[in-house]
């Protein structure tokens, strides 16, 4: 790690060198390899199973463009490709489908179907480390950049979502990409086009990015106000460019290119545009509320507790990263406040920070604040404010550096670098262990403040997520289930079990009975959810037993219980000569 500037005034933003890009890409490549090798250890949740099906349809439509006999742009073909799951944009679903078709079906480079669908997500999760590293370098230096990438990599819940063919890891990357392009465009008009294109790609990924331009607008207002204090006016002196020039270019680019890319990428909107846009907006504005178990209270409907995302984050980020991030948050907030209060020195050279502290703070805060609103659905837990986690990782890097400088104020050069590296290792080592130990079941991970999964159970926190953990009992079912066994899979969908069977993880003769069909099954896979207890009671009644024969546990806490219908008692033997 290279040393960074002394603590105090943070200095001008740095320009990442080629070595910084190389380090970031090496970290990204290593993380991608880790995700890729671990893919089949992470089960298929409900949403992902639906996206597999949508991905195949979308991928087929794009590949149909290469076939002159297919009328790809007809309403019928567009409906065939995009009517299913049309409540979400199709950028990622298209990439999932193309990845599966090309890497698995055509080239055979990827052996398993599930992994082939997931590769675009894993690639974006890995590239998020590269951008987090560059952001840390730009704001504070190489040491902070490396710390930021490692902190982001070893958050168990981020690691879990980094596998799935879903939208949460991709939208985290897209949010970071938009913010990065904005920061570059704030003093370079050439980057303004990139900022608009990045926003369009973000909107084409998931609705979360709708809030990013408003976040960056607040940063631009602060930056413009700072410029005015220093120069006496918003307009730049003759022959120079000021914030009005740069932010005007960014605004035009985002307003024009963002919606254009969004509209162009989604053929479903090309017909009946107004009605379909109205459906898209209303679906998310009136999203259904699923039950959430939080601190011992089962929430079915709003208003929800405002502290939900903040308490949840405090209990699910590894403690070392959490402490370092809070220190970095305090350091950055204090620096921002000092800049806000300080009067500009007339005639003095002013440091060009581009309101970097405010930028970090707002990009971290807004995703969580949106979820904190009392009527925002909270059923997704940490994944819904995960776009703020790269910025928290950068703050953790700032915090690690600040702690080192506080302990060794005289350290400089190589000595400072070694101390930062050592403290980074102390922070990252337990987080990396937790990620490798719990990352496959990220939604069940809780840190030491919560007391781990067992402590979270006592606190009344959720530890399951829509059927993904059924992957842990497939081997036992393969060994013990009779031929043609009828299995009630509870929260695991038919699409998930089909995916397991296609990849040889589940015997093909094992049958899926459907939702609420425990009485018609002879095996029951129950995923532990407080709101689903009535369904476990159905199994008890149907099977005449409340004792599972197989289970999957984390730290002694049940995640899955597998029930087997007892065989009916054998008929008594008939004595010689009849009864």
555's tokens: 């730290």
Q: Which helix (H) or strand (E) holds 553?
A: strand 550-554
Which residue's structure tokens are 């979360």? Answer: 208
pLDDT band at 352 (very low <50, low <70, confident <90, very high): low
pLDDT of 3 higher than 50: no
**How far, in Å, CA of 373 to CA of 370, rounded?**
6
pLDDT at site 4 = 43
**How far, in Å, CA of 448 to CA of 211, rounded?**
33
514-543 mean pLDDT: 90
Which residue's structure tokens are 């063919």? Answer: 165
- Alpha-carbon distances, residue 154 vs 34, 148, 211, 220, 329 (angstroms): 11, 10, 26, 32, 19
- Alpha-carbon distances, residue 343 vs 229, 231, 332 (angstroms): 8, 12, 19
pLDDT at site 513 = 92
317's tokens: 């980020």
Q: How many CB atoms lie within 10 A of CB 457?
A: 21
- pLDDT, one tens digit per residue, over 411-462 is 888 888 899 999 999 999 999 999 999 999 999 999 999 999 999 999 999 8
β-strand pairing of 557-564 with 523-527? antiparallel
- Alpha-carbon distances, residue 530 vs 51, 311, 440, 523, 579 (angstroms): 26, 20, 21, 21, 51
493-513 mean pLDDT: 95
466's tokens: 């829509």
- pLDDT, one tens digit per residue, over 257-305 is 999 999 999 999 999 999 999 999 999 888 888 888 899 899 989 999 9
pLDDT band at 533 (very low <50, low <70, confident <90, very high): confident
Short-list 151, 137, 132, 126, CA closest to 18: 137
pLDDT at site 228 = 81
**How far, in Å, CA of 531 to CA of 219, rounded?**
41
pLDDT band at 5 (very low <50, low <70, confident <90, very high): very low
pLDDT at site 347 = 47
What's the burial of 172, exposed, middle or buried (CB within 10 Å: 0-12/13-18/19+)? buried
For the chain, the average pLDDT equals 91
- pLDDT, one tens digit per residue, over 97-140 is 999 999 999 999 999 999 999 999 999 999 999 999 999 999 88
Q: Kindly report whether the peptide bond that precedes residue 303 is cis, defined as omega within 30 degrees of 0.
A: yes
Question: Considering Cα of 252, then 357, then 2, then 325, what sign does the dihedral take?
Answer: negative
62's tokens: 């794009």
pLDDT at site 493 = 93
**How far, in Å, CA of 84 to CA of 375, rounded?**
27
- pLDDT, one tens digit per residue, over 542-554 is 999 999 999 999 9
Short-list 203, 185, 186, CA closest to 194: 185
549-571 mean pLDDT: 87
Distance of CA 65 to the CA centre of its chain: 31
pLDDT at site 578 = 63
**How far, in Å, CA of 416 to CA of 410, rounded?**
9
pLDDT at site 29 = 98
pLDDT band at 9 (very low <50, low <70, confident <90, very high): very low
Percent of the chain surpassing pLDDT 90:
73
- pLDDT, one tens digit per residue, over 376-405 is 988 878 899 999 999 999 999 999 999 999
Q: Which of 182-197 are b and which e, b meaning 16 or more Cβ less than 10 Å from the residue's Cβ? A: bbbbbeeeebbbbbbb
pLDDT band at 216 (very low <50, low <70, confident <90, very high): very high
Percent of the chain surpassing pLDDT 70:
95
**How far, in Å, CA of 204 to CA of 262, rounded?**
5
pLDDT at site 338 = 84
Q: Are 336 and 358 in contact (CB under 8 A)?
A: yes
Q: Are 525 and 546 in contact (CB under 8 A)?
A: no
Strands (E), 66-218: none
pLDDT of 37 higher than 60: yes
Distance of CA 144 to the CA centre of its chain: 22
Beta bridge partners of 551: 561
pLDDT of 235 higher than 90: no
Q: Which of 416-453 are b and which e, b meaning 16 or more Cβ less than 10 Å from the residue's Cβ? A: bbebbbebbeebbebbbebbeebbbbbbbbbbeebebb
Beta bridge partners of 524: 488, 563
- End-to-end CA, the chain: 89
- Alpha-carbon distances, residue 536 vs 518, 525, 543, 554, 563 (angstroms): 9, 9, 11, 20, 10
- pLDDT, one tens digit per residue, over 508-520 is 999 999 888 889 9
518: alpha, beta or left? (left if phi > 0; alpha if psi -120 to 50): alpha
pLDDT band at 318 (very low <50, low <70, confident <90, very high): very high
Kindly report the length of the chain.
579
What are φ and ψ of residue 554, in 5° steps?
-120, 120
Strands of the sheet containing 511-512, edge to edge, are: 511-512, 486-488, 523-527, 557-564, 550-554
**How far, in Å, CA of 218 to CA of 63, rounded?**
42
- Alpha-carbon distances, residue 458 vs 42, 225, 415, 439, 557 (angstroms): 25, 49, 45, 21, 10
pLDDT band at 68 (very low <50, low <70, confident <90, very high): confident
Task: Give 375's DSSP letter.
Answer: T
Query: Using N-to-C axis directions, what is the helix angle for 113-139 and 91-99, rounded to 10°?
Result: 130
């Amino acid at each position: 790690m290279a040393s960074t500037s002394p603590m105090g005034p943070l200095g001008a933003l740095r320009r990442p060198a080629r070595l910084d890009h190389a380090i970031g890409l090496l970290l990204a490549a290593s993380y991608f390899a880790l995700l890729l090798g671990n893919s089949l250890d992470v089960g298929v949740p409900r949403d992902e199973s639906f996206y597999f099906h949508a991905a195949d349809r979308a991928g087929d439509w794009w590949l149909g463009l290469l076939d002159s006999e297919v009328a790809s742009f007809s309403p019928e073909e567009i409906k065939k490709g995009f009517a299913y799951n049309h409540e979400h944009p199709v950028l990622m679903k298209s990439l999932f489908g193309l990845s599966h078709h090309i890497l698995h079906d055509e080239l055979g480079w990827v052996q398993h179907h599930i992994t082939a669908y997931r590769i675009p997500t894993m690639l974006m999760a890995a590239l998020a480390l590269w951008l987090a590293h560059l952001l840390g370098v730009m704001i504070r230096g190489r040491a902070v950049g490396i710390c930021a990438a490692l902190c982001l990599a070893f958050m168990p819940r981020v690691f879990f979502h980094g596998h799935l063919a879903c939208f949460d890891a991709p939208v985290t990357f897209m949010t970071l990409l938009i913010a990065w392009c904005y920061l570059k465009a704030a003093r370079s008009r050439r980057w303004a086009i990139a900022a608009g294109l990045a926003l369009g790609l973000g909107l084409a990924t998931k609705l979360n990015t709708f809030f990013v331009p408003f976040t960056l607008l607040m940063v631009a207002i602060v930056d413009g106000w700072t410029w005015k204090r220093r120069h006496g006016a918003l307009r730049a002196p003759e022959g120079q460019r000021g914030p009005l020039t740069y932010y005007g270019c960014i605004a035009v680019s985002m307003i024009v290119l963002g919606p254009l890319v969004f509209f162009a990428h989604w053929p479903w909107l090309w017909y009946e545009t107004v009605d379909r846009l109205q459906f898209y907006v209303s679906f998310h504005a009136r999203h259904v509320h699923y039950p959430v178990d939080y601190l011992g209270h089962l929430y079915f409907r709003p208003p929800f507790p405002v502290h939900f995302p903040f308490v949840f984050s405090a209990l699910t980020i590894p403690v070392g990263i959490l402490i370092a991030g809070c220190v970095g948050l305090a350091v950055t907030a204090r620096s921002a406040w000092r800049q806000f209060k300080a009067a500009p020195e007339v005639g003095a050279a002013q440091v060009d920070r581009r309101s970097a502290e405010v930028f970090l703070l707002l990009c971290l805060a807004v995703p969580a604040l949106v979820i904190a609103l009392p009527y925002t659905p909270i059923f997704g837990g940490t994944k819904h404010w995960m776009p703020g986690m790269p910025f928290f990782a950068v703050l953790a890097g700032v915090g690690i550096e600040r702690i080192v400088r506080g302990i060794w104020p005289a350290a400089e050069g190589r000595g400072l670098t070694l101390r930062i590296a050592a403290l980074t290792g102390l922070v990252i080592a337990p987080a990396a262990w937790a990620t490798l130990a719990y990352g496959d079941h990220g939604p069940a991970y809780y840190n030491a403040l919560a007391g781990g999964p067992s402590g979270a159970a006592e606190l009344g926190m959720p530890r399951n997520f829509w059927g993904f953990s059924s992957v842990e009992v497939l081997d036992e079912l393969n060994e013990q289930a009779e031929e043609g066994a009828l299995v009630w899979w509870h929260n695991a969908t038919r699409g998930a079990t089909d995916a397991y069977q296609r990849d040889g993880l589940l015997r093909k003769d094992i049958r899926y009975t459907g939702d609420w069909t425990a009485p018609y099954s002879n095996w029951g896979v129950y995923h532990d959810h407080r709101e689903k207890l009535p369904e476990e009671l159905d199994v008890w009644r149907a099977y005449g037993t409340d004792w599972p024969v197989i289970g999957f546990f984390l730290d002694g806490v049940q995640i899955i219980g597998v029930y087997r219908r007892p065989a009916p008692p054998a008929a008594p033997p008939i004595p010689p000569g009849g009864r």
